[in-house]
């Protein structure tokens, strides 16, 4: 007899519903708001999207790496395993930390299927 992890099933169903709700919040205006203010006060919709992204597991989470402090930033991905160095994603570089934050935001939206 196979055991069913009901907690995992409930979490999977909840996450599927959350992803649908979050995708529905994504508009051109929301993306534009994030370009203007990646930090600071956000609209309710943008705050909900960002909160959803923050709650995701560390494995596969995007981070910003300063390859040349104050001059060049890149996006990397966490492995989720202690001691394993994050892997840098592609050759895309950003001149400011805020531009890199928006790059991470767009990448997360693409992964969500919202772009």
- Name the more confident of 2 and 10: 10
pLDDT, tens digit (0-9, with 9 covering 90-100), for 11-21 = 899 999 999 99
Give pLDDT tens digits for 33-59: 999 999 989 999 999 999 999 999 889
Q: pTM of the full predicted structure? A: 0.87
Tell me the β-bridge partners of 77.
62, 87
């Amino acid at each position: 007899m196979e055991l069913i992890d009901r907690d995992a099933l409930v979490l999977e169903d909840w996450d599927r519903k959350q992803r649908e709700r979050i995708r529905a919040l994504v508009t051109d205006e929301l993306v534009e708001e994030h370009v203007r203010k990646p930090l600071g006060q956000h609209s309710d919709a943008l705050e909900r999207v960002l909160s959803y992204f923050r709650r995701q597991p560390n494995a596969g989470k995007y981070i910003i790496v300063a390859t040349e402090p104050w001059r060049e930033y890149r996006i990397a991905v966490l492995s989720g395993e202690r001691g394993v160095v994050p892997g840098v994603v592609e050759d895309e570089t950003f001149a400011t930390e805020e531009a890199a934050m928006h790059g991470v935001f767009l990448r997360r939206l693409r992964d969500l299927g919202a772009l």
